[in-house]
Copies of this chain bind each other. A is one copy, B any other.
């Protein structure tokens, strides 16, 4: 048995079922060992950002890690942006990164880099195997770390000779780490705050946005009058008809400030101190009023569910009624195709228990609003702001949950960063419907350009934010990678195309050509 084979035995024992792979020469023994291991599935990705983004989607839905298999430092750097998103999503991920054989690293061959330095930029934990004999135990440690708290990014670097050298050492999987509990004193303090009559918001993030936690939060809200506030970019928000609704923090700083202006105290429940996404000249970074008290109940890495349950008990709210989201009824949308009409169609047609992967950027919010009363679903957002997560996220969610329909709401500009995900969707026959909002523009940047007060832009400046010369043809791009696609330009046509997609299993893409009115931004 070689080191790679020992490692695979341990990873399989630790419950690893899926590799998102983009290997190179230094990972060939790992590839061979994966091929031999019946319990694991390898999903080939044609770019590393697809592999890491898919691992994020898998981790959010499965609550356990997939492995991303990457080739040396350069492969890891291609996956780094989506690892940033995954880290902000507290996803459990194990990255296996090959490196040159130990004795080869001194020679500065073309692909030689400081791989641990790459890894430290994007990981919560970095390990480098010391020999074939330690590789299996290192793998067990990586899986263990990845499961700490809500989830961590664990990167194990494997010199090629450790994979190919002989060993007899196979480690057992480590025990799953336990969720730290919140102390009684914190619970008591928060219970007191919730009873003091001040205007209070519960800032919910991480696993506090799952249906079970929202049920308890909803009872606390009913019993105390506190509002339920959802972070702007939720990791995984379980919402829709019958679920407990939440108020999402607006994206733009000034709207965020207005949103929080009435609050006297905020309780953080898996959520963080609300801050603006970007700084703007003359605008504040912190969204809550200066005199608003901010009190953490539980961090994202603590047992949020247990904390909410104990808090509800202390507040005698365990049996309080909860407000549930009602259905919202729309007419069949018609006329001009907009993000609003798309939202109406999605809301009407989304099947029960679907997953929405959202990287719609400027087109996202209208769909979010329209779908509040859609059939119950999970909403996954771009947590770290690094664009290019949407299609990979949908891919990973679909691999984790093959029985559920996945809808990717995808802006055109962002889609271009990791469009290679479509090929893997075709190969794996994942049940993903990708909706491309084609406004032929980095629309968000046109808005931001106006907002940062850089002055009136000339044509050369605007051309740097314009995707319309030439137009991207998403039907060709999609079919070029094996995903059937269609283009729609009216609300009716979108509705019919989306309806067909919801009734058919397998990947498909709908290019929704929506008009963008920049005049209203700069007018």
A residues within 8 Å of B by Cβ?
Answer: 21, 23-26, 28-29, 31-32, 34-36, 42, 44, 46-47, 49, 73-75, 77-78, 80-81, 84, 88, 100-101, 103-104, 107-111, 113-114, 117-118, 120-122, 160-161, 164, 233, 272-273, 275-279, 281, 285-286, 383-386, 388, 413, 416-417, 419-420, 423, 426-427, 444-445, 448-449, 452-455, 457-458, 460-467, 469-477, 479-482
Contact across chains for A100 and B160 when beta carbons are under 8 A apart: no
The 10 closest A-B pairs by CB, nearest first: A35-B461, A470-B482, A476-B480, A101-B279, A104-B279, A74-B386, A77-B80, A32-B454, A477-B480, A111-B385
Contact across chains for B28 and A448 when beta carbons are under 8 A apart: yes
Since A46-B417, A109-B285 are in contact, a sample of 4 more A-B pairs with Cβ atoms closer than 8 Å, ordered by chain A residue number, is A31-B449, A74-B81, A77-B122, A472-B481
Chain B's closest residue to A482 (CB) is: B470
Chain B's closest residue to A4 (CB) is: B454
CA distance A101 to B111 in the complex (A): 35
Q: Chain B's nearest CB lies how many Å from the CB of A48?
A: 8
Contact across chains for A281 and B42 when beta carbons are under 8 A apart: no
Contact across chains for A454 and B84 when beta carbons are under 8 A apart: no
Q: Which residues of B contact A461 (CB under 8 A)?
A: 31-32, 34-36
Contact across chains for A44 and B481 when beta carbons are under 8 A apart: no
CA distance A29 to B462 in the complex (A): 12
Contact across chains for B28 and A277 when beta carbons are under 8 A apart: no
Chain B's closest residue to A428 (CB) is: B469
CA distance A461 to B28 in the complex (A): 9
Q: Within the complex, which residue of B285, B416, B457, B474 is in contact with A35, where a contact is CB–CB below 8 Å?
A: B457
Q: Within the complex, which residue of B32, B84, B118, B472 is in contact with A113, where a contact is CB–CB below 8 Å?
A: B84
Listed A/B pairs (6) with beta-carbon separation below 8 Å: A28-B445, A31-B464, A32-B461, A47-B417, A419-B419, A473-B481
